Structure 1
C-alpha cells in the first residue's frame, strides 16, 4: 500500500484528479490522504465473488450489492471503497454511494489488514454504517461487527466450518469456509 504525500489535506476533487481512468490499483481518500493499494490476490477475489453471489441470492427487493472499486463518499476528505457493500437502490448515484451503506465488508490482505481493522473501521463507525464485516481468507474467519452508539461491537466471530448467522442487513447464514470456493 502507498500513502501519497501532499502538503495539506486532499479533497474528493483531488482524488478524482489523481486517480487514473483505468488500472488494477485501488485509490481511496482517508482523512485527506490518498491510499493506493494493489489489486487483490487469488483468495481475496474468491471471497469477494462467493460472498457477492451468496448475498445476491438472499437480498430482498430494493437492495443492491456493489464490489470495489465503487466509491463510498463519507465526507469531503474521506472516500472509501470497501471490498463489498450492501445499500438501498435509491441511495446510489450513477458514480458513488454518497453516504453510509447498510453493510461494508473488507477482506483482509497483508497490505491492508491494519487499515481495514483500525482506520476504515473507525471511519465507517463514525459515518453510521450499521454493519461491518472483516473476513480473513487465511484462517478462514468472519468477524461481524454492529454499530452500538458510535462504535462497533463484536456480534459474532466464526472460523472454518462454524456457521455465521446474521439478520442485518437481511437474514443470511453461511460458513467462512464456503467463501473459499473456486
Structure 2
C-alpha cells in the first residue's frame, strides 16, 4: 500500500499560495482547508450584520471598518482563519492597504463566525480556542441551526460565553448601544 503525505505549508507559503481558482483557504496546522461557498442563510446573515455594524460604526463616528469574509487572522505559527466578519481598528484598516494578502498578525476588535451545518465544531471549539490565544476581545458565534447567538468575551485569556435566543437583545461591549435581537439576525 502506497501512502502519500499531504503537503504542508508554512505561513509564508500560505500567504503566497494561488491556485487560479476563486476558492479561499484557511491554514490549519500547515494544511490548506478550502472554504466552500456560503449557504443562502449564511450569506444573508453575514450581509445583514455587515450593514448593521457599518451603520453603527458610522453613527458613532469611529474610524473602524467592518469587513465580511475577506480578511484573515493569523492564529498560530501555521494557522490562519478567515472569519465571516471582522471589525478592524484604524491602524489595521490602514495596514491592510499595503498587504499582498490581507491576513492580520494582530487581533481584530471583533470576529463573527456563522455556523455551517457541516462543521459546527470548527466555530464552537477550534476557532474559539484559536481566537482566544490570538487575543480577540469579542467573538460572536451566530448559529442559525440552533437558533442562538453566543457572545464570547475574553477574560484573562479565556472566553466567557453568554447565549442569546429568540427576542433577547444581544449585549455587546464593543457596540453597547446596539439594539438587535437574535430573531432579527436570523430573519435576515
TM-score by length of 2: 0.83
Q: Give aligned pairs, total.
A: 175
The answer to whether the 8 Å contact 2:24/2:35 transfers is yes
The answer to whether the 8 Å contact 2:117/2:145 transfers is no
Which structure's residues are more often strand, by fraction? 1
What is the root-mean-square deviation in Å for CA atoms of aligned residues? 2.0
Q: What residue is the counterpart of 1:102 in the other structure?
A: 109
Give 1:20-59 correspondences, 5 Å limit. Answer: 20-23=19-22, 25-59=23-57
The answer to whether the 8 Å contact 2:83/2:112 transfers is yes
Q: Alpha carbons of 1:173 and 1:20: their partners in 2 closer, same or farther (altered >3 Å)?
A: farther
Q: What residue is the counterpart of 2:6 in the other structure?
A: 6
Q: What residue is the counterpart of 1:161 in the other structure?
A: 167
Structure with the greater alpha carbon radius of gyration = 2
Helix, strand or coil for the counterpart of 1:125?
helix
* Gaps in structure 2 of 5+ consecutive residues: none
Q: Alpha carbons of 1:164 and 1:93: their partners in 2 closer, same or farther (altered >3 Å)?
A: same
TM-score by length of 1: 0.86
* Gaps in structure 1 of 5+ consecutive residues: none
Helix, strand or coil for the counterpart of 1:29?
strand
Q: What residue is the counterpart of 1:118 in the other structure?
A: 125
